[in-house]
Amino acid sequence: MVKRLVALLPLVLLIGLLSGCVVQSAPTGGAGGNAVEMGATTYTSGNSITIKKGSSITFTDSKDNGSVHILVIGQNGTPSAESGAPDLGANGMTFNPGDSKSIGPWTTPGTYHVTCTVHPTTMNLVVTVQ
């Protein structure tokens, strides 16, 4: 019995490592929906997310480590119309530390970009809608 457990240990470790890589590569929606966490100058949950058509994304600015963010559709801090993306308003969507707001629904399959006008070089999120 002990020999079998010892023989299975490398396999269990390998599965654990591979599972961790998949989970960290791109946040996806679970029971609570799709979530993107923001820190002081970055998306702390990663720079990409894949969601299902008709879903929304909840963006949360860290209360302790966050800063003011103004999110717009576009890249590198520049608002740009991307057909099929939700409208974030003429001035974008402002987040203060501790804020949590939903963007969506995302109704058209495709690839979109959500950037921060305050942190244009470090906050560029790719949203893939399936």
- pLDDT 10s digits, 14-53: 344 333 332 233 344 433 469 999 999 999 999 999 999 9
What pLDDT shows up at residue 22?
Answer: 29
CATH number for 110: 2.60.40.420
pLDDT value for 3 = 52
Give me the domain span that covers residue 32. Answer: 27-129
Domain count, the chain: 1
Per-residue confidence at 1, pLDDT binned at 50, 70, 90?
very low
Domain for residue 47, yes or no? yes
Beta strand extents in the chain (DSSP E only): 34-38, 48-51, 55-61, 69-75, 78-79, 93-95, 100-106, 110-116, 124-129
How does residue 90 score in pLDDT terms, banded at 50, 70 and 90? confident
Residue 89 backbone dihedrals phi, psi, to 5 degrees = 85, 165
CA distances (Å), 75 to each of 10, 17, 90, 112, in order? 43, 33, 16, 9
In a domain? residue 18: no
- Please report whether residue 22 resides in a domain: no
| Residue 33, pLDDT score | 63
Task: Determine contact, residues 53/75, Cβ cutoff 8 Å.
Answer: no
